[in-house]
Amino acid sequence: MARRKKNQNLKQGKWSVGSMKKAVEAVQLKKLSFRRAAKWYAVPKSTLERRVKGKQDADAPASRPTVFTADQENQLVGHILEMANCGFGLTIDDVCRTAYSMAVNLKIKHPFNSSRAKAGYDWYAGFMGRHPQLAIRKPEGLSAARGMMLNKNVVTSYFKLLEDTMGRLKLFDKGSQIYNVDESGINTVHTPGKIIGQKGKRAVHSKTSGDRGENVTAVVCASASGVYIPPMIIFKGQRLNKGLVANAPSGTLFATSKSSFIDRELFEHWFEHHFMKYLPSLRPVLLIMDGHSSHISLGILKLAKENEIEILCLPPHTTSELQPLDKCLFKPLKTEYNKACMQFMKENPGQVITRYDFCGLFSTAYRKVCTMGNAASAFRSTGIFPFNPSAISDDIFAPSTVSKLPDAGGDHHTDNGTTEKTDANVQSDGDIHVPETMHVHTENVPSTSNGTFPAASKDTIENLLKVPKFFKEEKTASNKKSRRITTARCLTSDEVIQMIEEKENEKELKRIEKENRKLLRESRMEERKKQINSQSSKKG
């Protein structure tokens, strides 16, 4: 099918459906002839004749018949939206090839290019115009693990544990005793925001401090009532320079690490000497956090239990939707930080942003974003306080529908020694196989006519428009259990503390055994050297 010229002046469709209906009515009532009615109402005479004689519906739009019926196109639209929700969105080329496959498999006469096995751009443009709910969107990356773990079973199990914990601690109406802590890396080289520039110009620039900056970690903690624990800022290095702390938010705790990331030792220091210092005297307290290895240590859990602090660990790969600070605070915080950096570059031309400027810029963003209202909104949007599991939309579960889901009620061994129900086949992040959404039969179908539509059952179209599903070969050892943690956990429970203590003792025992083996090897090498030296001395 030849591509329609961009500026082609077409006479087709230069009339309204209302005018055509009036012309048809005038001819049927014998008030006007075909010619006079066509001239009076400004409609094509041949089209008027077809509609009066019943060869075409009087309410049909002023255009050529479409390749697919309205119902078939609606099913295609549903398939496109479902694929996008599942994380397998279709490109323009995918949609055109899917349309060709539908026409071939349903034996519909079509004007599509059979050699390229896809519909043309003109069909695509008309299809998008008929369905304004569709638009070209740039998708955000979604890891396979996050798409798998954000499912109904895992989230329901988490809210059940949260409800039981809040009920046991009697915190349903005490937002000032519910906290969330999270950390995020911020780079000294900012990401410029959008600007107004010349239309059509190939590139528009915004100055930054360099190509690669230095990462700085910010630890933020807030309560559901909007009270913030002063932040913790971690720089890369071994010693803290006094020039780094200038203009930081009041009460900020500073630290350094080899990688600028938080580790177990730094988190223990933050918990014991910073969090406990600013924590109000009201007890009990519920602290919600993710399950990063740096957050979990025997010392923290024992100290928390002694001070009536319950620690709830979120399910893995779900923090983007279930953790208040991750969902609602860090993105606007980084946006404001980037704005502050752009303003700094404008006010100080020729200078670059270094680690010594970080605290002042971070403080500007922190004061704007870390407000009482934003903290309360973050806890409300994640359904924590007020407790509301329905705050999590079912739309986020769509990507998990194409994979086997961890079940909230079957047998599954986790690191805390408890028995949880999940599917044993959920092992790794890369086990998702995406089959083709449609199979094209190679048949000789005429490609020059838009004839009548064949009757295609709904089941036939649904069989063609399939969403890819999880596929994984079963393991031969059926009794092998997965030890991957797939649910939320209460870290301060006696079972978890005992399990972590046993693991640390086992780890220490292995370290001692390794050290003993090393000493034994060294002693044997020394003895061997002595023997060689003694033998050489005797020969001499």
For residue 409, is pLDDT > 50?
A: no
Residue 361 CA to chain centroid, in angstroms? Answer: 28
How would residue 440 be classed by pLDDT, with cut points 50, 70 and 90? very low
**What would the 3-class secondary structure string for 122-158 be?**
HHHHHHHHHCCCCCCCCCCCCCHHHHHHCCHHHHHHH
For residue 12, is pLDDT > 70?
A: no
Are 215 and 236 in contact, with CB atoms under 8 Å apart?
Answer: yes
Phi, psi of 126 (to 5 degrees): -65, -40
Instruction: Determine how many CB atoms are found less than 10 A away from the CB of residue 372.
Output: 13
* Residue 199 structure tokens: 């239309």
pLDDT digits (tens, 9 = 90+) for 26-68: 999 989 999 999 999 988 998 889 888 887 777 776 667 788 9
How would residue 414 be classed by pLDDT, with cut points 50, 70 and 90? very low
Q: Is the dihedral of CA 513, 515, 517, 520 positive or negative?
A: negative
pLDDT at residue 7, as a whole number: 52
Q: How far apart are CA 179 and CA 219, in angstroms?
A: 13
Residues 6+ apart with CB under 8 A from 502: none
Exposure string of 457-482, with b = 16+ CB inside 10 Å and e = fewer, is eeeebeebbebbebeeeeeeeeeeeb
Q: How far apart are CA 268 and CA 265, in angstroms?
A: 5
Distances (CA, A) of 182 to 218, 221, 294, 360: 9, 7, 11, 21
Containing H/E element for 229? strand 228-236
What DSSP character marks residue 257? E
How would residue 447 be classed by pLDDT, with cut points 50, 70 and 90? very low
Q: Return the residue matching tokens 């961890």.
A: 406
- Picking from 155, 154, 159, 151, the residue whose alpha carbon sits closest to that of residue 86 is 151
How would residue 10 be classed by pLDDT, with cut points 50, 70 and 90? low
Q: What is the dihedral of CA 26, 27, 28, 31, to 10 degrees?
A: 60
Q: How far apart are CA 154 and CA 422, in angstroms?
A: 9
Mean pLDDT of 124-134: 92
Q: How far apart are CA 437 and CA 464, in angstroms?
A: 7
CATH number of 173-191+211-386: 3.30.420.10
For residue 88, is pLDDT > 80?
A: yes
* Residue 37 structure tokens: 């009615």
pLDDT at residue 138, as a whole number: 87
Task: Give bridge partners of residue 257 from the DSSP assignment.
Answer: 236
Q: Which residue intervals of 291-447 are DSSP H helices? A: 298-306, 319-322, 324-328, 330-347, 355-369, 372-381
* Residue 251 structure tokens: 């009460």
Are 102 and 450 in contact, with CB atoms under 8 Å apart?
Answer: no
Q: How far apart are CA 352 and CA 343, in angstroms?
A: 12
How would residue 483 be classed by pLDDT, with cut points 50, 70 and 90? low
Distances (CA, A) of 143 to 79, 185, 488: 22, 19, 20
Q: Return the residue matching tokens 């190679």.
A: 442
How would residue 459 be classed by pLDDT, with cut points 50, 70 and 90? low
pLDDT at residue 485, as a whole number: 66
**Angle at which helices 92-105 and 70-85 cross, to 10°:** 140
pLDDT at residue 424, as a whole number: 34
Rg over alpha carbons for the chain, rounded to the nearest Å, is 33
Q: What percent of the chain has pLDDT over 90?
A: 48
Containing H/E element for 53? none
Q: How far apart are CA 280 and CA 350, in angstroms?
A: 46
- Range 12-63 classified under CATH 1.10.10: yes
For residue 465, is pLDDT > 60?
A: yes
Are 55 and 102 in contact, with CB atoms under 8 Å apart?
Answer: no
By DSSP bridging, strand 285-289 and strand 178-187 are: parallel
State whether residue 321 is helix, strand or coil. helix
Containing H/E element for 313? strand 309-313
Top-confidence range, 180-194, 440-454, 491-505, 506-520: 180-194
Q: What percent of the chain has pLDDT over 70?
A: 81
For residue 387, is pLDDT > 50?
A: yes
Phi, psi of 273 (to 5 degrees): -105, -5
pLDDT digits (tens, 9 = 90+) for 132-147: 999 999 887 777 776 7
pTM of the model: 0.71
- Picking from 233, 237, 257, the residue whose alpha carbon sits closest to that of residue 245 is 233
Put the strands of the sheet holding 309-313 in their side by side order.
253-257, 228-236, 215-223, 178-187, 285-289, 309-313, 489-490
- Count of helix runs (H) and strand runs (E) in the chain: 18, 7
Mean pLDDT of 184-200: 91
Q: How far apart are CA 150 and CA 326, in angstroms?
A: 15
pLDDT at residue 202, as a whole number: 86
